[in-house]
Structure 1
Amino acid sequence: MDQRVSLITLGTRNMDRLAAFYEALGWVRVDSPDGVIAFDLIGQTLGLYPLQALADEIGLPVSELGHGATTLGHNVPNREDVAPLLARAEAAGAKILKPAQDVFWGGHHGYFSDPEGHIWEVAHNPFSPLGPKGEFQWNGAA
Structure 2
Amino acid sequence: MVTLGVEDLTRSIRFYEQGLGLPRMDSPPEIAFFTLNGSWLGLYGREALAQDAAVSAVAGGFPGFSLAHNVCSEAEVDDVMAQAALAGAIVTKAAEKTSWGGYAGYFSDPDGYLWEVAHNPQFWVGPADEDA
Q: Which band: TM-score by shorter chain?
A: 0.7 to 0.9
TM-score if structure 1 supplies the norm length? Answer: 0.82
What code does the residue aligned with 2:105 have? G
- Structure with greater contact order relative to length (CA < 8 Å, sep ≥ 6): 2
Corresponding position of 1:21 = 15
Give 1:3's aligned residue.
none
SS of structure 2 residue aligned to 1:63: coil
SS in 2 for 1:80: helix
SS at match of 1:99: strand
Deviations 1:7-51 (A, max 9, x none): 211001100101100112111222423721110222321000011
Which residue of structure 1 aligns with residue 120 of structure 2? Answer: 125
Q: What are the Cα deviations for residues 44-96 of structure 1, in whole angstroms up to 9, with x where unaligned?
A: 21000011111111222212787521111111111222112111100000000
TM-score by length of 2: 0.87
Question: Where in structure 1 do 4 or more consecutive aligned residues deviate above 6 Å?
Answer: none
Report the Cα distance in structure 1 between the residues aligned to 2:76 and 2:128, rounded to whole angstroms: 13
* Among candidates 65, 68, 73, match of residue 73 of structure 1: 68
- Residue segments in structure 1 that go unaligned for 5+ positions in a row: 1-6, 136-141
* Aligned-partner Cα distance in 1 for 2:42–2:61: 18
SS at the partner of 2:58? helix
Identity %: 43
Relative to structure 2, which stretch is displaced further, 98-107 or 74-83? 74-83
Aligned Cα RMSD in Å? 2.2
Residue 121 of structure 2 aligns to a residue whose secondary structure is coil
AA partner of residue 103 (structure 1): T
1:11 touches 1:54 (CA, 8 Å); kept in 2?
A: yes
The verdict on how the C-alpha distance between 1:65 and 1:97 changes in structure 2, with shifts beyond 3 A counting, is closer
Aligned length: 129
